[in-house]
Structure 1
Amino acid sequence: MASSKQPLTPSSAIRHRRRRRCLLGTLAALLALAVVLLVLFLTVLRVRDPTIRLVSTELTGVAPRFALLPAPSLRLNVTLILTVSVHNPNLASFAYADGGHADLSYRGAHVGDAQIGPGAVPSRGDAEARLALTLQADRFLAAGDARQLAEDMEGGALPLDATTRVPGTVVLFGLFHRRAVAYSECRFAFAVAEMRVQSQECTGGTKL
């Protein structure tokens, strides 16, 4: 029985070779693209930790409250405006909506908190955020005895710790979006008489 296969004509053989070359070229281009994306992910897209610095504090209000129950007591709430500077060393910008939160503690006792409003930090740029921090003065005594607080006040500075957590989105070239959480921990001395930050030490990072 004669074979049904027809011998390739010169023109069909040329077309076959062209299709094979086109297929090989496409595969090579896809492989090169995969390598480029891998290198991009390992270098450019690698998220580096932002640096956070407490710039200034401002006393804006004092609100005393007198409670009769369960026992007569005087509670004092103090509102501080904190200005925080954030430097973003990454090529990607960081945008955050409502949901950020900051906690303040004195010698292990929680004494204040603040909500962080929406904002954005540009790529390889800086941005400032203002936080309205409510200090509950009566909680300072919960950290220990009144003598310790008096000694710190007499020394002119209160040792405080601030922890900040800001969920947001990392945006690269306006195309790639990835959820991330920026966080920071700051230990600083707050000068009571001058109402300013005397010294500070902050560390920060980003979790994807």
Structure 2
Amino acid sequence: MDSTIRTDDFNKRRKATWASYIIGGIIFLIFIILVFLYAILRVRSIKIHLQSVNIKDLVTNNRLSPAASFSMLLKAQVTIKNSNFGHYKFENSTLVLAYRGTHVGEAGIGKGLVKARSMKRINIVAKVSSSSWKRDDVSSDYRASSQKIKLAASAQVTGKVHVLKIIRRKKIAKMNCIMELDTKTQTIDNMHCK
């Protein structure tokens, strides 16, 4: 009788041990699945930056009179960074250049695709001209800042992040930059982007 009690006790302990292993394994699998869902399927924000801005064909009329003006071609590279585990498909957009809040130029950013965890570089060319602006304000900038012109560049790219072909999230990337154009050296100084 003692041996049957011992074997029954032993079987009960063995079943309890296996049950605890199975429950522990299930908890571990649930933990792994939750980490996967949080790290892989979480949709992060898209980043857009303006880089390597160059000036070409700068023409200035910097007389200290109401006739001061500027025009140029601005070549730049826009980068769109996707840190998600799915690709980002974006629509057509426009980079707008402004001088004292007034539109002076723009460049198109065509629709495209940024692969998962990568960056897309887009070269743009914008024709910038102060012809739509009051001439006396351009003259005052030449007098006040040693022939430096402050330009603002802004863009907004709208698209969707596709993760594992089941999750589609709309994401908007925004960029606002302020830069100074030095008309003497024909370079861009002090560019700050948000």
The TM-score with structure 1 as length reference comes to: 0.60
Q: Report if aligned partners of 1:85, 1:126 keep a CA contact under 8 Å in 2.
A: yes
Q: Which residue of 2 aligns with 1:6?
A: none
- 1:109 maps to a residue whose letter is T
1:92 Cα deviation after fit: 3.1
Within 2, Cα distance between the matches of 1:195 and 1:61? Answer: 7
What is the match of residue 87 of structure 1? 81
Deviation at 1:123, TM superposition (A): 2.7
The 5-angstrom pairing of residues 1-208 of structure 1 reads 36=33, 40=37, 44-50=41-47, 52-59=49-56, 78-97=72-91, 99-141=92-134, 145-151=137-143, 155-203=146-194
* CA drift at 1:184: 0.9
Q: How far did residue 132 of structure 1 move?
A: 2.3
Give, in whole Å, the separation in 1 of the partners of 2:176 and 2:150.
14
1:89-138 deviation digits (Å, cap 9, x = unpaired): 333332223x2011111122221122211223333322211222121221
Asked if the contact 2:46–2:171 (Cα under 8 Å) also holds between the matched residues in 1, the reply is no
| 1:55 and 1:85 in contact (8 A); partners too | no
Shift of the alpha carbon at 1:164? 0.1
For the Cα contact (< 8 Å) 2:45–2:171, is it kept in 1? no
SS in 1 for 2:134: helix
What code does the residue aligned with 1:181 have? I
Kindly state the Cα deviation for residue 41 of structure 1 after the two structures are TM-superposed: 5.4
Distance 1:92 1:199 in 2: 35
**Residue identity opposite 1:169 in structure 2:** K
Q: Name the counterpart of 1:7.
A: none
> Could you say if the C-alpha distance between residues 38 and 185 of structure 1 is closer, same or farther in structure 2, counting changes exceeding 3 Å?
same
Q: 1:182, CA displacement in angstroms?
A: 1.6
Total equivalences in the alignment: 158
Structure 1: any 5+ residue segments left out of the alignment?
1-27, 63-72, 204-208
Aligned Cα root-mean-square deviation (Å): 3.5
